[in-house]
Structure 1
Amino acid sequence: MPTTRNGDVSLYYEADGDGPTVVFVNDVGYGPWLWGWHYDAVAGPYETVVWDLRGTGRSDAPDGPYDVETLAADLEAVLADHGVGSAHLVGAGLGGMVALQYAHQYSRARSLTLYCTAGSGDAVDRDALDALALDAPSSLDGAFSPAFRGHDPDLMDQIADWRAEEDAAGAARDAQAAAMTAFDAPPLYEITQPTEVYYGLEDPVVSPETVQSLSADLPRGTGEAVEGRHCCYVEHAPAVTDRLLAFLDEQTG
């Protein structure tokens, strides 16, 4: 599978499908398992690109600090290596911040779909974010509602296995979390791509009010509420993915 480099950091990515390119950008610590619920629906009518952020999975894990601007430069290296002229960006949490920075700084972003993200790291609850870490007790509690966790214990076990194999941990995960909490968005009025912003009604990491404010400050932003916590877009993946596909279809004509 392909790798590219940003400076001395090797970055791993995978691509599948055919059509306009959709790039998924991970949240703090999470590996590409995060997009499994979206991937099968999107790959086919669209080309999908999933990549491991620095510090995660098969990408290098250099010493910190990390920042969102550097992660956006990593994304540019991936898209340039893969020969992508334009792309729809789908980012969660930290990945949404990377998408915002990328859309402002580079020319390839065609649309943005943002899940549970904020325009400022000051609005991120660092304690709640750290409670999601792989080595934290009850690390899925802040990600999924009790009803979702209780409905399918086997799925929770599967997610735990995926996380053990793919997630960032230790200093690399801390560096990603620090990048998220230090983020200060570029002028939002200058980010003119069509943008849909989703927020979890019970998200302990980024409050609904924070995400609503972000969507209101984006010239072409809309906000959508989803029942659930920080990974509400996984918990309600069928409905969220249907909306994502409809949005992508609107942007590609």
Structure 2
Amino acid sequence: MPTTANDGVDLYYETTGGDRTDETVAFVGDVGYGAWQWGWQHAAVAGPYRSLVADLRGSGRSDAPPGPYSMATLADDLTTVLSDAGVRSAHVVGAGLGGMVALAAARNTARVKSLVLVGTAARGDDLTLDPLWGAPDDPATLEDSLVAGLSGTFVDERPAALEQMVEWRASEDADRAAWDAQAAAVHDFDVSEELYEITEPALVIHGRDDAVWPVERGERLAEGLPRGEFLGIDDAGHLVHIEVSKRVNDELLGFLPDLE
């Protein structure tokens, strides 16, 4: 599988689906999570689109250099991966931290065609992310942190799915030092006064039961983007793209240009 490097840091990514590099959908993940979190979405877009899923530095099979990490560095990692994959510009889907990376890349580069921003915000200075932390070697904390990111309905009705996600997280997620390094990028990020500069079409999706990234942040983000559209989903938490994946996939495919 492909690996590229940015300033000596190895970055892992995978591509699947169509071979048109000019119609690539790139997925950028949330704090600490490995690429498993996009299993529902990348399969949905692969076909007419080429799907690209990358592990953030600190997560999965990418290197985990000492932190803290800056948003500029993470956005540069994204553009490095796109360049290595032969992609001049992509439709970028980002969750949480990944949404902020997508915003930074859209503001400062020409690499972004459109944005789908899931459970994210234009600023992160007063967010408390600790409920989402789970130690990869401690299944109990992994489960607790998933409960914090999901709706109560999902937790009660899908225990087998919760157990499977604990296994994926144990093998792919960031350790504490790398998690803190990624979280630092969230806390230092603020483009709330510069959103008018990001003119790409943008769909902002937010679970209305998100207990960590308040839904009001998503609403304000969509309002501030010149071509922003907001979609709030009832009875869904921070990991809305996982717990109501079919709905999110339908919205994603409806938002992306029809290539057929």
Partner of 2:196: 189
TM-score (norm 2): 0.92
- Aligned mates of 2:223, 2:126 — CA distance in 1: 16
Between Structure 1 and Structure 2, how many residues are aligned? 249
- Aligned mates of 2:48, 2:167 — CA distance in 1: 30
Q: Which blocks of at least 5 consecutive residues in structure 1 are unaligned? A: none
**2:240 corresponds to 1:232:** yes
- Aligned mates of 1:213, 1:29 — CA distance in 2: 25
Among 155, 163, 167, the alignment partner of 1:157 is 163
Q: Which blocks of at least 5 consecutive residues in structure 2 are unaligned? A: 136-140
- Aligned mates of 1:55, 1:163 — CA distance in 2: 13
- Aligned mates of 2:80, 2:218 — CA distance in 1: 28
- 1:165-222: CA deviations, max 9, x gaps? 1111210011111111111127110100000001111111211111101100000001
Partner of 2:217: 210
Consecutive aligned runs of 4 or more in structure 1 exceeding 3 Å deviation: none
Amino acid at match of 1:21: T
Instruction: Report the secondary structure of 1:110's partner residue.
Output: strand
Amino acid at match of 1:108: R
- Aligned mates of 2:59, 2:253 — CA distance in 1: 27
Tell me how large the CA RMSD over aligned residues is: 1.4
Shift of 1:123: 4.7
- Aligned mates of 1:67, 1:204 — CA distance in 2: 25
Partner of 2:118: 115
Partner of 1:8: 8
**2:130 corresponds to 1:130:** yes
**2:39 corresponds to 1:36:** yes
Contact 1:31-1:56 at 8 Å conserved across structures: yes
- Aligned mates of 2:212, 2:157 — CA distance in 1: 23
TM-score (norm 1): 0.95
- Aligned mates of 2:87, 2:108 — CA distance in 1: 16
- Aligned mates of 1:155, 1:97 — CA distance in 2: 27
Contact 1:226-1:233 at 8 Å conserved across structures: no
- Aligned mates of 1:122, 1:213 — CA distance in 2: 15
Identity of aligned residues (%): 51
Among 139, 147, 151, the alignment partner of 2:153 is 147
- Aligned mates of 1:139, 1:210 — CA distance in 2: 21
Partner of 2:138: none
Instruction: Report the secondary structure of 1:90's partner residue.
Output: strand
Amino acid at match of 2:250: D
Contact 2:149-2:212 at 8 Å conserved across structures: no
Amino acid at match of 2:152: P
Shift of 1:62: 0.3
- Aligned mates of 1:213, 1:201 — CA distance in 2: 14
Amino acid at match of 2:189: F
Deviating more after overlay: 238-247 vs 130-139: 130-139
- 1:133-175: CA deviations, max 9, x gaps? 1224711122111211121211111100000011112100111
Shift of 1:122: 2.2
**2:96 corresponds to 1:99:** no
Partner of 2:77: 74
**2:246 corresponds to 1:246:** no
Instruction: Report the secondary structure of 2:145's partner residue.
Output: coil
